Structure 1
Amino acid sequence: MASLSDLRMQKHALSMRQMVAEIHLGKLNIAQAAAKFELTRKTVWHWIDLVEAEAEADNLPPAASSAPPRARRRVTRPVPQQSEAVEALTAKIQALEVALEKANFKALYYATLLRVAEEELGIDIEKKSATKPSASC
């Protein structure tokens, strides 16, 4: 029984180190590693901390020398294409807002025009005066 338990622990440690190595090499990010190894992101961060602490305790060069510190990992810089897309979308939003303002003004203008015409002429413009009764009545 002890050997089976030892084998499971070795497999666990091996998969933990494999996951951390893939993250440090840039093959996986935290979310991808969590999905691939069926873990939570918190567990992934815990495993990374364990492997890095183990490397420091053994006076090994850190495997994450190319990886930024944990606090900086979550910061993403916008890609130039993304900033161009954002600018294009912002311009489109502004154009749509102008068009909406014009449409609202036009609707208000026509509603006011109808109301004033009805008051001055005394005719109900919006209501059809010669409607036929429906056949169902």
Structure 2
Amino acid sequence: MPAIVALLQDDALGAAREGDNMVPYFAAYDVMMQENGNQLIVGVSDTRVVATYQLTLITGLSLRASRRAQIESVRVASELRGQGIGQLMIEDAVARARTGGCSLIQLTMHKSRTDTARFYEGLGFTPSHFGFKRSTV
């Protein structure tokens, strides 16, 4: 878990919003693994965690009751970016979504991540929607 959280902290946004206390991360992982259709994928090189993403399969009624996949928290170790790891992860996510019966794969990202937007567009994603967030606290 510390290696995964370190990847989440490995940029300006993550450094400001992630913490060092591992207890809530372990608790969240336990809940995630109990939820159907929720997967945490971890990329390892030798014995080092170098990449991660979360994939959630969602059954819904819109788009003729299409099943979709939601990708979250895509991270590659900063010193390994630009080497094709991110593309391999997205290809893996698409394959997992297809196997899970999904006809659509979607993601959100912070709008300040302009390089990341170009990356996703290069992989065939289109910026088709606006997203909104609101705290419940």
TM over 0.5: no
Higher fraction of helix: 1
Higher fraction of strand: 2
- Find the structure with the greater CA-based Rg: 1
Task: Between the two structures, name the one with larger relative contact order (CA 8 Å, sep ≥ 6).
Answer: 2
| TM-score between both structures, scaled by the size of structure 2 | 0.26
